[in-house]
Amino acid sequence: MDILMLGSFILFLLSVGVFTYFKTRKTNLESSEGFFLAGRSLSATVIMASLLMTNISAANFVGMSAQSYTHNMSVMGWEVVSGITLVLVAIFLMPRYLQQGITTIPEFVGNRYGESTRKFLAIFFLISLVVNGYPITLYAGALAMHQLFDIERTLGVSYEQGIWIMVWLIGIVSAIYAIAGGLRAVAVSDTIIGIVVVIGGLLVPLYAILHLGDGSLSAGFSHFLEATPEKFNGIGASSDPLPFSTLFTGLLLVNLYYWGTDQGIIQRGLAAKNLKEGQAGVIYAGFLKVLTPFFVVLPGIMAFQIFGGNIDNPDTVYPRLVNLVLPKPLTGFFAAAMFSVIMSSLNSILNSASTIFALDIYKPIWGRKADDKKVVNMGKFFGLFVAIISLFIAPMLMYSSDGLFQYLQKVAGFFNVPIFTIILVGYMTKRVPAIAAKIGISFFVVIYGITQLFWDTGLHFLHISAILFVLTTILMLLIGRIAPMKEDFIMPNARAVNIEPWVNRFRVGAGVIYSMIAMYVFFSPLGFAQAGGVNAITWLTLILVAGLTVIIVMLLEKRDRAKRSHLAREA
C-alpha cells in the first residue's frame, strides 16, 4: 500500500471528523427532535449537500459504472430523472409534511389512516432497511474500498476474506458514528464531504481522459467521444438494464417513493428550519442529481475504452480505473472521499431506522410514559441491532448474479412503489380507510414477488411495478367506495415551522427540468451517440425546449401571484 495514499486518506478523514465535532458539539442529542431532526435547524445548503451525499453511495459509483461498461448510458436515467422528481417533491409534498410537523413518514400515514396502519408501515420500512438498504450499501462500500486498497495483496487474503474484513471494518465505524452523533452530525459532515466528492468524482474522468490521450487533454477528449459513440446512447432499448420506456412508468414511481417518502432521504427535508429552506435545498439537490452521470456513469465508458470488454466482474471496473489513472496522493484523497460517502449513506440509513423504531414502534407501544432520553436510547439500540445483522448479510451479496445495482433495484421493488401508492392515495383522497392501505400493500408485495421469483412475465420489473401501482390504486379506491371512512380526513397544522413557500421554486425547478431534458438530448442519437456528435438539429431542439420552458414558468408564476393575492384579500 502506497504511504502517500494512506497518508492523504487518514488526513482527510481526521479533518472531516474535527470539523464535524466543532460544528455539532453544542447540539442537544438527548431530545427526539435534536437527535432525529437536528432540532429542525437545517438550511438549504446543508439539505442540498446531505440529500446528495445520502443518495450517492458506493453503489452508484460501482454499480452504474459497471452497467455503462457492459451496456451504454441508459443507466443514467436513475440519476437524471431524479431532477424532475425532486422538483415535484419540493412543490407538492414538502408543504404538507412541514405543515403537519411530522418526524417520520409513518407518522404522516398515522395521521391519515390511523395508528395501526402507522405501525404496520413502520415495520414494513424497517424490514426494507434490514433486508436491502443497509446490507447493499455496506457491501458496495466494502467492494469499493477492497479494490482501492488492494486488500488481497496488502493483507495476503483471498477475495472473499477481503470483502468480509472490509464489511466489518466499515460497518463498525459507521455504526459508532451514526449512533453517537445523530442527524446533525451526519448532515454537517455531508456538507464538506459533498464538495470533496464532487471534486474527486470529476478528477477521475479528467485523469482518465488524460490517460486516453497519453497526457494530452484534447487528444484524449477527442478519442473518448469518437471511439465508442454507441456507448453514449441514454435512450435504453428493451435489452438494456434501464429501457427508456420505464422512465414513464415504474422509474418515475420509484423515484417519487425514494425522494418523497423514503425516511432516510426525506428526513433531511423534515429537518428544515422553514419551508423556503426546505424547498430550495431539495430543488438544488435535483440540479446536482442531473449532473451526477458525469462522474458515476461516464467512467464506465472510459474504463471500456481503456481495459476493453475483458473484465469478468464489471462491479470492479470503477475502483480499477481509479487506481490506474489517479496519482497515489489523489487516490488516497479520493479513497477518503469514497469512504466518507459510504459512511454518509450508512449513517443515514441507521439514523432513519433508529428514528422509525423509536418514534413509530417503541414510543406508541411500550414507551408512552418514557422520557425523550429513553426514547432516543432505544432508537440507538435498534440502530446497533440493524448494523450487527447487516455485518452477516452484506458479504453474501458478492454471489448475486444480476450485478450490484440491478439487484438493489429489484429487491427494493418489494417496498418502494407499494409504500408510495398508499401515501399517494391517502394524499389524494379523504375517505379511503386504513384497511385499504393494508390490503393494498399486501396485494402489491405478493404479486410482485410472484413475478420476480416464480413467473417470468418477460416484462421489465419497473413495468411490473407500474402495472401493480395502477391495480393497487384501483383496489384501494374500490375499498374506499364500499367501506369509506365516516368523516373526511382533514390535514392537521402543527405550526412547527414557517410554511411560506420559496418564491423562486417554479423558476429554479424549471431550470432543473430543462437540464434533465438537455442531458437526454445530448446523450442520444440526436447528440453524442451519432457519428460526428452534436449538430444544428441538437441545438435547435434545445432552443425550442428552452422557449417552451420559459412560457410554462411565466404561466405558473402568474397563477401563483394570483393565488397569493386572493389569499391576502381574504386575510
How does pLDDT run across 505-519, given as a tens digit for each residue?
999 999 999 999 999
Strand partners, 274: 498
User: Domain boundary at 431, 455, 484, which?
Assistant: 484
d(CA 174, CA 180): 10
Which residues have a Cβ under 8 Å from the Cβ of 146 and sit 6 or more positions away?
Answer: 152, 159, 162, 163, 166, 319
Cα dihedral across residues 424, 426, 427, 428: positive or negative? positive
pLDDT at 183: 52
Predicted confidence band of residue 24 (pLDDT cuts 50, 70, 90): low
User: Domain boundary at 434, 454, 484, which?
Assistant: 484
* 156 three-state secondary structure: coil
Q: Is the pLDDT of residue 179 over 60?
A: yes
Residues 22, 114, single domain; the answer is yes
Cα dihedral across residues 393, 398, 404, 409: positive or negative? negative
Cα separation of the two ends of the chain: 68
Domain at 230, CATH number: 1.20.1730.10
Please say whether the beta carbons of 343 and 177 come within 8 A.
yes
Q: Is the pLDDT of residue 106 over 90?
A: no
Total domains, the chain = 3
Span 380-432, pLDDT tens digits: 888 888 888 888 888 887 776 555 556 667 777 888 889 899 989 998 899 99
pLDDT at 404: 56
Span 229-264, pLDDT tens digits: 999 999 988 888 889 998 888 888 889 988 988 887
d(CA 554, CA 557): 5
pLDDT at 345: 75
Q: Which residue has the higher pLDDT, 289 or 137?
A: 289
Measure CA 181 to chain center. Answer: 21
Span 112-135, pLDDT tens digits: 898 888 888 888 888 887 777 788
Residues 379, 447, single domain; the answer is no
Residues 419, 515, single domain; the answer is no
The mean pLDDT of the chain is: 84
Question: Does 489 fall in a domain?
Answer: no
Q: Is the pLDDT of residue 154 over 70?
A: yes
Amino acid symbol at 466? A
Question: Does 321 fall in a domain?
Answer: yes
Mean of the pLDDT values across residues 173-183?
66
Candidates 40, 350, 55, 352; CA nearest to 194 is 55
In which region does residue 237 sit, left (phi positive, over 0), alpha (psi from -120 to 50) or beta (all else)?
Answer: beta
Indicate the Cα dihedral angle 426, 427, 428, 433, nearest 10°.
20
Biggest CA pair distance of the chain? 75
Q: Which residue has the higher pLDDT, 267 or 555?
A: 555
Q: Which residue has the higher pLDDT, 332 or 67?
A: 67
Predicted confidence band of residue 297 (pLDDT cuts 50, 70, 90): very high
Residues 302, 438, single domain; the answer is no
Q: Which residue has the higher pLDDT, 84 or 414?
A: 84
pLDDT at 302: 96
Residues 469, 527, single domain; the answer is no
Q: How far is CA 522 from CA 277, 304, 309, 532, in A?
A: 32, 20, 25, 12
Which residues have a Cβ under 8 Å from the Cβ of 563 and sit 6 or more positions away?
Answer: none
Most confident of 158-162, 380-384, 493-497, 520-524: 520-524
Residues 85, 169, single domain; the answer is yes
Question: Does 495 fall in a domain?
Answer: no
- Placement of cell 455504526 in the chain: 175
pLDDT at 511: 96
Candidates 38, 34, 30, 24; CA nearest to 272 is 38
User: Domain boundary at 363, 393, 408, which?
Assistant: 408
d(CA 124, CA 440): 13
Residues 457, 434, single domain; the answer is yes
Mean of the pLDDT values across residues 92-110?
87
Q: Is the pLDDT of residue 181 over 70?
A: no
229 phi and psi angles, rounded to 5 deg: -60, -30
Question: Does 499 fall in a domain?
Answer: no
How is residue 274 annotated by DSSP? B
d(CA 186, CA 23): 11
Span 450-500, pLDDT tens digits: 998 888 888 888 899 999 999 999 999 999 999 999 889 888 888 878 889
Residue 168's domain comprises 3-408
Q: Is the pLDDT of residue 37 over 60?
A: no
Residues 433, 536, single domain; the answer is no
Question: Does 16 fall in a domain?
Answer: yes
Please say whether the beta carbons of 65 and 296 come within 8 A.
yes
Candidates 406, 422, 484, 418; CA nearest to 447 is 418
Question: Does 494 fall in a domain?
Answer: no
Rg of the chain taking only CA atoms, in angstroms? 23
Indicate the Cα dihedral angle 495, 352, 32, 499, nearest 10°.
-10
Residues 173, 192, single domain; the answer is yes
User: Which set of grid coordinates corresponds to residue 85?
Assistant: 422528481
Question: Does 64 fall in a domain?
Answer: yes
d(CA 345, CA 227): 35
